[in-house]
Structure 1
Amino acid sequence: MNSFRLLHSIKRYSMSAHVWQGPGTHDKRSPCPALNALANHGYLPHSGENITKSQLARGLQEGLNASSLLANFLAYGGFNLLGKLLDKTINLDDLNQHNKCEHDASLTRKDFYFGDNHTVNPELVDLLLKQNIDRKIKEEPLSKLHWIRLNNSKEVNPTLLYKFKQKFLSAGESSLLLNFIGANTDLEIEIEKLEVFLKHERFPEGWRKPNKVVGIWPIISSLFSFLKRYDQLEKEQKK
């Protein structure tokens, strides 16, 4: 009987281990909705504290089906951008540091100049959702909103820093979003599901992690596609 109860408890735990639970008062979170969602679902420590490179890579693999190469590239790359490559651990709120991983003209966060660069801004999410094509978000709506946000920041943010690094990071984030959250739907995301993911940092009902392992080369290809579209939008604006 004891063995039966133990097996039942293990089974029940395995089924509920990744049920969404929002952050508590003292839990750490970042400007990245994907990392926050992984913590909220238990793929990363729910506290958001003392996360090792291997924990971060494993969370990306288990929660988003990233390949080992991509997961480790993102984990080690993130530590490196934060200047913590030699550190054993980071906290998610370490990513709040301005112009390291975080940057101005974010799709879902206000610029650092306005005081809170890490909490999701529902109005910005709504602005993104309004760019939808047939109630779906794909490359064009994401590129369009990036351009809207950048132009707005140029007008209202006197401390805006936007060079190739920030442009590259922005394109990379949009690429990761489509390739992870839109992997099973031809790199398109229904606006209802995207709203849940971005506003509540939870994996929406009916969504499944990618059926196929997400490798590094599709991410790079998509990233450069975004950069090309950014350049096209810039040329169109100058006409």
Structure 2
Amino acid sequence: MSAHDWQAPGPHDKRSPCPVLNTLANHGYLPRSGENISKSHFVKGLQEGLNVSSVLATILTYFGFFRIDKFFAKTINLDDLNQHNKIEHDVSLTRKDFYFGDNHTIDPELIDLLLNQNIDGKMNQESFAKIHWIRVNNSKEFNPTLSYTAERKMQSAGEPILILKIIGANTNHEIDVENLEILLKHERFPEGWRKADKTVGVWAIISGMRSIQKRYDQLEKEQNKQKAN
């Protein structure tokens, strides 16, 4: 097996609520055990595995350590990111809300719900915006402890944009539905996928987040208008 062949995690390996970080661990860009990962190792893994800029990799890493109150820690384990309302949050596209019990394990039914929003077999920004609003409405109806603040909304915008801008970097920021299923359900890079040809920087992510948040707001206004009628 080469250094970056996919390998399923063992029974004692640690994993996070983030499919992409877990994929990096499953491919050996981060320690396969998911344990004792330093900031520099995160930065290197993000750069080598995904071809993001050093600035973006550093921001994502330090933000993650800060959010889980480990900013001054030398290392963390991937499952440290499972703390609710830190990195992990309600209205996830791949995990159940905290209220329903297991908010850490992949939920194939939620992923299928996401994939059903494909447009001609492609997952794009519109696909993610629509499924986000479906998830928000579902959680508002059935989750009495739902936490959906402005910060959570921003996080919920960042995650699909990171996937589209990084995983879909070479395919016009779209992803074939079959490839996204492999990434999200099996946490592995699809066959034939390659990291971004051009380094993905901070501005690409910020502009994408602004764009998808704008679409979130439009969908909310459309829904409120329909209710009023």
Return the alpha-carbon distance in structure 1 between the equivalents of residues 69 and 209 of structure 2.
23
Return the alpha-carbon distance in structure 2 between the equivalents of residues 163 and 38 of structure 1.
29
The one of 60, 66, 71 equivalent to 1:80 is: 66
**Equivalent residues, number:** 225
The one of 95, 105, 113 equivalent to 1:119 is: 105
Return the alpha-carbon distance in structure 2 between the equivalents of residues 20 and 134 of structure 1.
29
Tell me the CA shift for residue 83 of structure 1.
1.0
Return the alpha-carbon distance in structure 2 between the equivalents of residues 97 and 175 of structure 1.
22
Q: Describe how 1:20-35 pairs up with structure 2 within 5 A.
A: 20-35=6-21
Report the equivalent of 1:65: 51
Tell me the CA shift for residue 234 of structure 1.
0.7
Q: Deviations over 1:91-150 (max 9, x none)?
A: 100111000011101011100111111111111111111100010000001000000001
Return the alpha-carbon distance in structure 2 between the equivalents of residues 66 and 103 of structure 1.
24
Tell me the CA shift for residue 227 of structure 1.
0.7
Q: Deviations over 1:154-208 (max 9, x none)?
A: 1111110100010000101111010111000000000010000000000000111
Amino acid at match of 1:216: V
Q: Once superposed, what is the RMSD of the aligned Cα atoms? A: 0.7
Report the equivalent of 2:166: 180
Return the alpha-carbon distance in structure 2 between the equivalents of residues 57 and 114 of structure 1.
33
Gaps of 5+ in 1: 1-12
The one of 212, 230, 233 equivalent to 2:198 is: 212
Q: Deviations over 1:55-113 (max 9, x none)?
A: 00110000000100000010001101111111111110011100001110101110011
Q: TM-score, length-normalised on structure 1? A: 0.93
Report the equivalent of 2:37: 51
Report the equivalent of 2:139: 153
Amino acid at match of 2:18: C
Tell whether 2:115 aligns with 1:129. Answer: yes
Give the 4+ runs in structure 1 shifted more than 4 A: none
Report the equivalent of 1:139: 125
Return the alpha-carbon distance in structure 2 between the equivalents of residues 147 and 88 of structure 1.
38
Return the alpha-carbon distance in structure 1 between the equivalents of residues 116 and 68 of structure 2.
33
Q: Which of the pair has more CA radius of gyration?
A: 1
Report the equivalent of 1:40: 26
